[in-house]
Structure 1
Amino acid sequence: MKNIRAMSIAAVAALSLVSFTSFAAESVSAHGSTLDSAEAHIAAKAKAAGAESYKITSARVDNGAYMTAELFK
């Protein structure tokens, strides 16, 4: 009984991870002179791709701003 319960919990955990990762459609990157302008480029790419939302995964500022994000549909 304990073994079946442990296997069920493991299966549910694995399936939940698969469902969350399947929503990430693609990764995009953008350059700008400031973080705000780089995010505006990300937002424009998300809208053009038909994404419902995006999550910024990295941002760097040195001689301009560079940003990457995941788009979610």
Structure 2
Amino acid sequence: MKTVKSALIVAALTAVSFGSFAQSITATASTLDDAEAQIARQAQEAGAQYKITESYAGNQVHMTARLIK
């Protein structure tokens, strides 16, 4: 019984941790450098670091990043 309670507590805390820190941001610009600069600015305003998760270049560049606190 104690093992089950411990497992449930760990699972709940893990879900809370990921939920409170996982945030995605996006930017659209004409170049990769401009899009990344927008991402960097948004991350700085949020007081976090970022990791680019997606980038697409068509007529414009669309970039998505995950904030890391």
In 1, the alpha carbon distance for the partners of 2:5 and 2:58 equals 49
5+ residue gaps, structure 1, are: none
* TM-score normalised by structure 2 residue count: 0.71
5+ residue gaps, structure 2, are: none
The corresponding residue for 1:8 is 6
Alpha-carbon offset, residue 10 of structure 1: 2.4
Percent identical across equivalent pairs?
48
The SS at the match of 2:47 is coil
The SS at the match of 1:6 is helix
Alpha-carbon offset, residue 39 of structure 1: 0.9
In 2, the alpha carbon distance for the partners of 1:50 and 1:66 equals 20
The corresponding residue for 1:43 is 40
Q: What is the CA RMSD across the aligned residues, in angstroms?
A: 2.1
- State the aligned residue count: 69
The corresponding residue for 2:16 is 18
Alpha-carbon offset, residue 36 of structure 1: 2.6
Amino acid at match of 1:20: F
Alpha-carbon offset, residue 11 of structure 1: 1.6
The partner residue of 2:25 within 24, 28, 31 is: 28
* TM-score normalised by structure 1 residue count: 0.68
Amino acid at match of 1:46: A
Are residue 59 (structure 1) and residue 39 (structure 2) matched? Answer: no
